[in-house]
Amino acid sequence: MGILVSFIIFLLVAAVVIYIVGRLNLGLSVSSYGSAIIAALVIAVVTAVINWLLALLGIAIGGGILGAIVLLVVAAVVLLVSDRFVSGMQVNGFGGAIIAAIAIAVVSWLVSWVLGLLGIAF
């Protein structure tokens, strides 16, 4: 039960982050909060598949600056792929996807940090 609740909280927070980034016009636009929830779900599934494929191929994404760059490119590709599946979301090219991925990462980190301060960790 705890894993399901954590997943739902994470999905809702991710949807809020995608919605905020979409409203700030940082390379990503989302038409509604419902589209943001669907986008968050699609992004989570596509990310899981890409990470699984990379692990299957024996490609380990390490830490440090190189790992961060690889994760950023993977996130941008995930956004570009998700654009095709979510009708209410549009990504403005690869540059827009990189900018949106950075913005999503920063806002997600801030939200996680604030929730951690409040004692709500997921």
What are the φ and ψ backbone dihedral angles of 42, each rounded to 5 degrees? -65, -45
pTM of the model: 0.71
pLDDT digits (tens, 9 = 90+) for 6-29: 677 778 878 888 888 888 888 888
7 located within any domain = no
Confidence at 70, pLDDT banded by 50, 70, 90: confident
Distant-in-sequence contacts of 50-58, Cβ < 8 A, 24+ apart: 50/74, 50/77, 50/78
On average, the pLDDT of the chain sits at: 79
70 located within any domain = yes
3 located within any domain = no
The tally of domains found in the chain comes to 1
Burial class (CB in 10 A: 0-12, 13-18, 19+), 104: buried
Q: Domain limits at 100? A: 12-117
Confidence at 2, pLDDT banded by 50, 70, 90: low
96 located within any domain = yes
Cα–Cα distance measured from residue 85 to residue 68, given in angstroms and rounded to the nearest whole number: 26
Amino acid present at 30 = V
Alpha helices in the chain (DSSP H): 2-23, 33-56, 64-85, 93-117
Q: What is the pLDDT of residue 85?
A: 81
